[in-house]
Amino acid sequence: MARALFIGRFQPLHRGHEEVIKWLLGRHEELVVAIGSANESFTPKNPFTVGERIEMLISMLKELNLISKVMYCAVPDTKGDSALWYAYVHGQCPSFDVAYTNDEFTRLCFEYGNVKVLNTPFFNRETYSGTRIRELMATGDKSWRDLVATGVLPVLGRINAEDRVRRLMQKQI
């Protein structure tokens, strides 16, 4: 199948996501990266805006020379109304032949729209995890820098990501 869609929150975009994107491009001609929870930002679980997450993605794709094969879109959460969520996917994403997610609830929502859904493999899941990276940032442990995707570091540096995450986690919004 020609075009796959991969959805995630990418808070931040990490090496696990990078491996999945490469793995998907080995199997599909084109990829749509859908940035979920696009309306969420400045919370402990979703510290980065959708614009910042787009910058992370584009920066990584440029470094990997994959920019010509990947499109992106943003999908907001619609808590409690997943039929509406699927309407956003349908209306705001480029068309795709198959969706990839490992999240059962998201799978269910795609299946509601009669979309074919597949899983991706996990790559070093204990280490490459958004939750873990945010925890390391909050405690000032610089080892998080080794866990984010190629090209993402300059974006996170420019927006002072570590400081933002630490302050949001302290506040526990």
Ligand X SMILES: Nc1ncnc2c1ncn2[C@@H]1O[C@H](COP(=O)(O)OP(=O)(O)OP(=O)(O)O)[C@@H](O)[C@H]1O
Cβ at position 106, least distance to ligand NMN in Å: 4
Cβ at position 65, least distance to ligand NMN in Å: 25
No. of helices (H) and no. of strands (E), the chain: 7, 5
Contacts of 21 (CB under 8 A, 6+ apart): 6, 31, 33, 66, 70
Contact at 8 Å (CB) between 8 and 36? Answer: yes
The listed partner (ligand X, ligand NMN, none) that binds 105, CB under 5 to 8 Å by sort, is ligand NMN
Contact at 8 Å (CB) between 151 and 30? Answer: no
H-helix or E-strand spanning residue 64: helix 50-64
Q: Does 85 bind ligand NMN (CB under 6 A)?
A: yes
Q: Does 106 bind ligand NMN (CB under 6 A)?
A: yes
Beta strands 30-35; 117-118: pairing state: unpaired
The listed partner (ligand NMN, ligand X, none) that binds 129, CB under 5 to 8 Å by sort, is ligand X
Cβ at position 92, least distance to ligand X in Å: 18
The listed partner (ligand NMN, ligand X, none) that binds 82, CB under 5 to 8 Å by sort, is ligand NMN
Cβ at position 164, least distance to ligand NMN in Å: 19
Residue 81 or 163: the one with the smaller Cβ distance to ligand NMN is 81
The listed partner (ligand NMN, ligand X, none) that binds 116, CB under 5 to 8 Å by sort, is none
Strand partners, 117: 99
Burial label for 100, CB within 10 Å (0-12, 13-18, 19+), is: buried
Q: Which stretch binds ligand NMN (CB under 6 A): 52-60, 61-69, 77-85, 116-124?
A: 77-85
